[in-house]
Structure formats: C-alpha cells, structure tokens
Amino acid sequence: MLEIFFCNVGDGDAILLREKRQGEPDYTMLADCGRPFVEPADGSFRKEAIYYLRQRGVGHLDRMILTHLHIDHIGGAQRILSAIPTDTLSALYLPPDGAGFVSPSFTSADKTENGLRILLDAFRDVTDCARARGCALETAQAETVRLTDRLSMTAVLPKRAIIERQKRVFDALYRNEPVNAVETFLAAKQRNLSSLMLRFDYAGRSVLITGDRYAADWEDEPIGTVDVLKLPHHGDPKSMTPALLKRLSPSVAVISCQSDPRNGKDRPNSEIVQLLQANVPQLYCTENRTLPTLSASTHNGVRIDIGDDGAIACETE
C-alpha cells in the first residue's frame, strides 16, 4: 500500500509518502517541509511538519525532496534533518562547492532581491545540516527512478532557460561575485516557475506533486493523465486552467492551504475551487475556508491510500 499524507502546515506544502508492506513502512519520503514556524490559530489544527512526522512514528526518511526555494516549502527542512535520520536530500539546485553565506543587500531596499538572498542563506544552512548528519545530496534529473519494486518517481523539470538563469545567479551570490540586477530579479520572481514537479506511479495509479509551478507554464508538458493531483500554489488563480485539468483528468485533487488567507492572498481561489468541483470527483483542502461552494473546516491533513490492487481511499484526519 502507498500512503500519501498532505500535512496541514497552513500556507505551505509538506507531503509524506510511505510504501507499506504488511502494515510496516518499507520506503518513506517527504516532499517539501512547510514553514519553520506555523503560527497557531484558534479553531485550526495547522502546525509544523515535524510534529506530523513524530505523531505518525516517522523515525527515518529514505528521501527528502525540496521542490523550490520558498520558505513555505523549505522552511522546516533543517529542523527535520536535525531530528530524523535522512538518507538523501534532493533538489533541483544545490549550492556550489565552497559556497559562502549570502547576506541581504546593504545598498538595495528591494524586497524581492533581499528575500532571495535570505532564502539562499537559509538553504545553505539546510544543506550544511544535511551533510553534517551524513545525508547524501542529490541534484534532481529529468528521469524516472525506481524507488522500490512497486513505486517509481519521475522528475519533471522546469524550462531550461529558468534553470540556467537560476544557477548563474545563485552560484554568483554564493560566491560573492557581481550579479546582474535584472537577472537577479527574474531569478527571484521565477522561483515558483522553477518548481520541480514529481510524478509517482504505484499499482497502476499516478500521483502528481506540482510544487508552485503555475499551470499555464506546463500546459504542454507530456505528463498524461493522473489519478491524484496536488494543485500548485495553494489553489490561487494561476494554479489551474480548464484545458490542463481536462487533460490531466484526475479523480482526486488536493489543495494545500489554510482557512484564513495569508496576507490577504486568494488561496484557494473560489473560481478554481468551482472548476475542480465541476470536473474532479473528489476535492480536498488541507484546511477549508468558507467559499460559496465550500464550508469551513479544519483537519490535521488529507490522507490518500493506494492499495496494491490500485484502489484509492481518501479521508481527512
């Protein structure tokens, strides 16, 4: 059986996948790690990812994958790596050998550039922690990897121009080399478009985890149909298009979101929710907020089980 648990980490992503044999975990993986701190809210179960791992008895991770460099996806990684032995840390980009710390700019007050610099500094802490704990670091490749004899993972990379720009800018910042202001701004703004997407295949079923890559950017990717879809970017207006949803044709969709929109952001968007409800048999949010077609509710997360016979069972916990 493959168990997929979408943790309620508020406005962020943390997805636990465990293949089980005779009820015991045989392969355990975490895709993204949520924020470093999730502020409690009255009436909400949201919390940091590490608490879900502990509560579910996760004492070892075969693999951790970080889809892209935003705080709501990598923020909890260092704490988890420090507490739970992890074999491999995978990401689309890794700091170069000899990478130094990246300081915020003392000459620019630009929020976008300084946000990128701070995140790169935090990411270096993550990779340093991984190495210190004996965790192997791996740059994700566009290939299919057989994780077990029944579970495979296919990485879908972003567009080549985005990957190359990101590497040029990030490497220069880590090496304290001059950076082009326009390229730096684009590398910072395109971090959602640089999301690594992951397709998992098990027992004839498929699961697609999309990071935050806006739907219009990957409408032409040859991914094919999927059974379970994790919507990108917390269900905001850019997260899905009718054409892409029709092509993917999922039977289950999950939105990682929180019941009160963070900083007034429209997540999930009411029109996106209605699009999904009209075309997907089962829709779940890690935490519902009140929308015209959705009632508010809170859960610890959304659990999806895929049996060895391919049967799919879904529930909130």
**E strand map for the chain:** 2-7, 15-21, 24-31, 61-66, 86-91, 136-139, 144-146, 151-156, 197-202, 205-209, 228-230, 252-255, 282-285, 287-288, 297-298, 301-306, 312-316
With vertex at residue 245, the alpha carbon angle to CA 240 and CA 248, rounded to the nearest 5 degrees, is 125
For the chain, report the end-to-end CA distance as a whole number of angstroms. 18
Tokens of 276: 């999904």
Give the list of residues 6+ apart from residue 183 with CB closer than 8 angstroms, or none.
Answer: 165, 168, 169
Q: Name 18's bridge partners.
A: 3, 28
- Sign for the CA dihedral angle at 246, 9, 130, 161 comes to positive
- What does the pLDDT read at residue 109? 86
Helical segments of 149-201, H only: 160-174, 181-189
- CA distances to 43, 111, 118, 196 from 2, in Å: 30, 41, 36, 21
- What does the pLDDT read at residue 262? 79
For each of the domains in the chain, give its residue range(s) and CATH number, in order of start.
2-316 (3.60.15.10)
Q: Pairing state of beta strands 2-7 and 205-209?
A: unpaired
pTM of the model: 0.97
pLDDT, tens digit only, all 317 positions of the chain: 999 999 999 999 999 999 998 877 789 999 999 999 999 999 999 999 999 999 999 999 999 999 999 999 999 999 999 999 999 999 999 999 999 999 888 888 889 989 999 999 999 999 999 999 999 999 999 999 999 999 999 999 999 999 999 999 999 999 999 999 899 999 999 999 999 999 999 999 999 999 999 999 999 888 999 999 999 999 999 999 999 999 999 999 999 999 998 788 899 999 999 999 999 999 999 999 999 999 999 999 999 999 999 999 999 99
Peptide bond into 268 cis (omega under 30): yes
Nearest to 66, CA basis, from 133, 130, 134: 130
Tokens of 253: 């969709």
- What does the pLDDT read at residue 107? 81
Contact 212, 233 (CB under 8 A): yes
Tokens of 75: 């923020």
